[in-house]
Amino acid sequence: MKVVLVEPEIPPNTGSIARLCAGMKIPLHLVEPLGFSLDDRYLKRAGLDYWPHVDLTVHPSWESFLAKHGHEPLWLTTKTSERPYTTVRYAPDDVLVFGRETVGLGPEILDAFPDRRIGIPIVGKIRSYNLSNAVSIVLFEALRQTQPELFLPPP
């Protein structure tokens, strides 16, 4: 399983997601352009001292990411999807893709994978969820399905 952030903009969100990925041993892929430098102090602060434990790959573009990983099963998270993330049957080689904080994934990405869109229900009067929260929600459901032993009490 992988987490992909396409053109993330806010350093603390990416830092928090990196920390989550380090904790769950999930590779993190960032697709440029990034809205910050990887040397950003807020990014490093949010990731604390866990950055050495993050399996991080940076891709110069969505096209370059697809060239390497486009054959893998992608799940595109978008607020416009009517398919709840909980209705998907995840597999260990799935790739969870998330877009920019301000606009999400672009139509050129979403339109290329119409049957691979998933969403998180929004009941209240908000535009969207915080990116790091959205990644946590979807990733933990995917892990619950693919690695249920992680969620059992210790023997």
Assess if residue 95 is contained within a domain.
Answer: yes
Q: Is the pLDDT of residue 47 over 80?
A: no
CATH label of the domain that carries residue 44: 3.40.1280.10
Q: Is the pLDDT of residue 37 over 80?
A: yes
Give the mean pLDDT of 88-92: 97
Assess if residue 85 is contained within a domain.
Answer: yes
**95 by DSSP, 3-state: which?**
strand
Assess if residue 56 is contained within a domain.
Answer: yes
- Which positions ≥6 away from 95 have C-beta within 8 Å? 1, 2, 4, 69, 72, 73, 74, 75
Assess if residue 39 is contained within a domain.
Answer: yes
pLDDT in the model for residue 155: 82
Assess if residue 135 is contained within a domain.
Answer: yes
Q: Note the pTM of the prediction, 2 decimals.
A: 0.94
Assess if residue 154 is contained within a domain.
Answer: no
Give the mean pLDDT of 108-135: 95
Q: Is the pLDDT of residue 40 over 70?
A: no
Q: Could you tell me the residue range of the domain that residue 144 belongs to?
A: 2-149
Assess if residue 75 is contained within a domain.
Answer: yes
pLDDT in the model for residue 44: 67
- The pLDDT > 90 percentage for the chain reads 83
Assess if residue 155 is contained within a domain.
Answer: no
Which has the higher per-residue pLDDT, 110 or 12?
110
How many structural domains are present in the chain?
A: 1
pLDDT in the model for residue 43: 65
Amino acid at position 32, single letter: E
